[in-house]
Amino acid sequence: MVAMLASVAISDPRIDAQTPASVGDDPRASGDRSPNPDDDSGGGAEDAASPAREGLFRLTWRPPVEGALATDRPGFADTTVVLPPGYLQLELGYTYTYDSESDIHARDHALSQLNLRFGLLDNLEIRTLWSGYSMSEVEFTAESPRTGRRYRTADHDDGASDMVLGLRTQLLKNDGLVPDLTFLGNLAIPVGGDSKSAGAVVPDVRLAYGWLLTERLRLYGVGIAAAPVSDGERFFQAAGSAGLSYAWTDRLSSFVEYYGICPARRESDCAHTADGGFAFLINDNMQIDFSAGVGLNEEAPDYLVGIGVAFRW
């Protein structure tokens, strides 16, 4: 599992939380875990568009917005909800990741995990993601070449991650067996530190989905296809998730989720992780969250914990 901490994976702050020394993360609860039980879209923001749409995109600057914000965090999946035109949303977080193998222990602190979203048109959102600054430490046992004495030491690797530019548009709305279905496209730009950057542009495409099962229970997830770079070689990487969210009150919701990344890095096995957490609405435009996850196999980190906050203007 420690080897995974040096991998380059799908570009998303939440995936980076699982692979802290990688460029590639989000993320990562989605807006599909909104605490608002009366909002069958998952977050309420997409219902703010008023008249019927004229085609796929329609400019309606700053329509009145009703309901709580829909976020991509915490958790792995992206929300299906597109931010209404003219609105800005900022999501921030911190994740601690721990992994061990034999006597090697790896720790990472990822701070900021920025996700800046802007509603450009009706049903078209643009966003900028940045996993932030990663502070990694690998502790291991070394042997003195002169005396043969064994001692504990650690290597440190700190640096900024690459920047990701993306867009989001909803293709289908939940109606019976038809799910909410949203397309997302991302492009990671190699602007990070030498040890944290992919060193090349990394594209990925996503389909986020969701079904409202009851007034308070929702099934959701995401499928991802990416072309990351590891050791200068590009390879195909797929990822997917499935989860359930439950709105306990109008303000408090929780989620449980499984996600897998395959392969975790070039020429390796898949990484499987389970996570869960809570999201609490301070008001319709501010949310705080907490999440934790555990690795289900050797390729995944042993565990990770995170906190975050989101604002909408």
DSSP character at residue 6: G
Q: How far apart are CA 217 and CA 231, in angstroms?
A: 43
- Spatial neighbors of 192 by CB under 8 A, at least 6 apart, are 23, 159, 160, 161, 162, 163, 198
Specify the pLDDT at position 271. Answer: 95
Q: Which amino acid is at 213?
A: L
* Span 30-83, pLDDT tens digits: 445 545 444 444 333 333 333 344 445 555 567 778 788 999 999 999 999 999
pLDDT of residue 32: 53
Three-state DSSP class for 46?
helix
Cα–Cα dist 171/121, whole Å: 14
- Rounded distance between C-alpha atoms, residue 52 and residue 75, angstroms: 32
Please tell me the predicted confidence (pLDDT) of residue 232. Answer: 80
- State the Cα torsion 211-306-65-179 to the nearest 10°: -10
For residue 279, give every residue at least 6 positions away whose Cβ sits within 8 Å of its Cβ, in sequence order, or none. 29, 33, 34, 35, 71, 74, 252, 253, 254, 255, 287, 288, 289
Residue 5: what pLDDT? 46
Considering just the CA atoms, what is the radius of gyration of the chain in Å?
20
- Write down the pLDDT at residue 6: 40
CATH superfamily of 2-312: monomeric porin ompg (2.40.160.40)
Q: What is the pLDDT of residue 49?
A: 38
Distance CA 145, CA 140 (A): 16
For the chain, the domains span 2-312
Ranges of residues in the chain with a pLDDT under 50 are 1-9, 13-15, 17-31, 34, 36-55
Residue 191's pLDDT is 92
Q: What is the pTM of this model?
A: 0.78
